[in-house]
Amino acid sequence: MANRLYWDLGKHPSAIGNLVGLQFLSANDASISRVIPDSIGKLGNLTEIYLYNNNLSGQIPSSIGNLSKLAILNAFNNNLEGPVPPSIGKLKSLVALVLSWNHLNGSIPREIFQLSFSYYLDLSYNSLSGPLPSQLSGQIPESIGKCTVLQELWLDRSKDKGRRAHLNHQWLRNSSTKSFVAECETLRRVRHRCLMKIITCCSSINKQGRDFKALVFEFMPNGSLNRWLHKESTMPTLNNTLSLAQRLDVAVDIMDALDYLHNHCQPSIIHCDLKPSNILLKEDMSARVGDFGISRIISESESKILQNSNSTVGIRGSIGYVAPEYGEGSSITTFGDVYSLGILLLEVFTGRSPTDDIFRGSMDLHKFSEDALPDNIWEIADKTMWLHTSTYDSNTRNMIEKCLVHVIALGVSCSRKQPR
């Protein structure tokens, strides 16, 4: 029996209960207007459910709590109503629960916060009301039940809470305490339109005597740049992709932010982890650089010492974006951010991640892009950009081609080993 199903749930919804070996269910973007059948609770082997962007109505069946292996439940953007079933608290393997943009009501069941493995809970844009669950109080939780690895909690625009910011919090041990202190110190000093605006932060001890620290940032309704560049299970449309002009604007915003951090902060600030998931987009699609968790603040004297030494503080950054010289023991400098910027630019305009499966052996995103310059630039450009353009004459095409050549060449130049 097939263990993956991409199915029109609307034809025979109750029959799904017969597929007891099913592990993966995807019925998203299918304009389904039925209810979620109670028989879904019979699929004990399910690990992932994707039902987002439909017209599903009715309540979430309590039988969903029988899916003991379920890791991901995403029913974003439907017409689901009624309460969030407390039985979801029985899903001990759940790591991500996304029920935003529905019509759910009632209070948030405390059982959800007994899920010790969950790291992403999104209940935003519903009609939830009433008191927050036990162990939650005020705008910033003092503790989140047993969710000891919870990284993101979204409750924006619930009925009686008003517009709330995206809460990103950590349960902190020694290393993450240093990360939190570094981010607070950095955010305290920076003021720029292209950097994430912090609303507040807090530090406290929970009832178990553990440190709890949180940063609350300005809400970014369009999510991360990564979400707009890479659509794994959704057809590209005008509404979920970026035009060439939008990508250029995003690139300029990112470079403005880096210029400020490197050249207009005293002392300079090195971001150390520039990548699409750390770029957030506002309502107008302007970009904000965020996540200073591993940033390094360097004074002029320290910078000179580092540049003239072989010292290292370890590899900083994410796979595919971190400067190669960091892996060879080089010290942290602004050149590392320039390398990451180059990779990011190439990703924005080719639509290819540096960890894409096509990059094997000596072929990487840098070489892939460099080899296309200047004559084959159309072959590597992200095709989804052209969804936003109508037919154009040869002069316009030539202008677009020159623009792409210049921006790809800039990305290639920045992403050379030890860029200058």
Domain boundaries defined on the chain: 4-164, 225-414
Question: What 3-state DSSP class applies to 9?
Answer: coil
Known active-site residue 273: yes
**From the CB of residue 363, how many other CB atoms can be counted at a distance below 10 Å?**
11
Q: Do 225-414 and 4-164 fall under one CATH topology?
A: no
Selecting among 122, 156, 273, 364, the annotated active-site residue is 273
Residues facing 205 on adjacent strands? 211
- Give the sign of the dihedral formed by CA 57, CA 60, CA 66, CA 71: positive
If 0-12 CB within 10 Å is exposed, 13-18 middle and 19+ buried, where does residue 13 land? buried
Query: Over its length of 420 residues, how does the chain's per-residue pLDDT go in tens digits?
Result: 345 554 454 455 566 777 888 888 887 655 677 888 888 999 999 988 888 888 889 999 999 999 999 988 988 888 999 999 999 989 988 888 888 888 998 888 878 877 765 557 778 778 877 655 444 434 444 444 555 445 556 665 555 443 444 444 443 344 455 556 665 666 666 788 999 877 666 666 655 666 666 666 777 889 899 999 997 667 888 889 999 999 999 999 999 999 999 999 887 888 888 999 999 999 899 999 987 655 665 544 444 444 444 433 344 567 889 888 777 667 788 899 999 999 999 999 999 999 888 998 889 999 999 999 999 999 999 999 988 887 677 888 899 999 999 999 999 999 997 655
Name 404's Cβ contacts closer than 8 Å, sequence gap at least 6: 244, 349, 377, 378, 381
- CA 314 – CA 322 distance, rounded (Å): 11
* CATH fold of 4-164: 3.80.10
Which CATH number does the domain 225-414 belong to among 3.90.870.10, 1.10.510.10, 1.20.120.1200, 3.30.460.20?
Answer: 1.10.510.10
230: Cβ contacts below 8 Å, ≥ 6 apart: 276, 351, 353
Please report the sign of the dihedral spanned by the C-alpha atoms of residue 269, residue 200, residue 220, residue 148.
positive
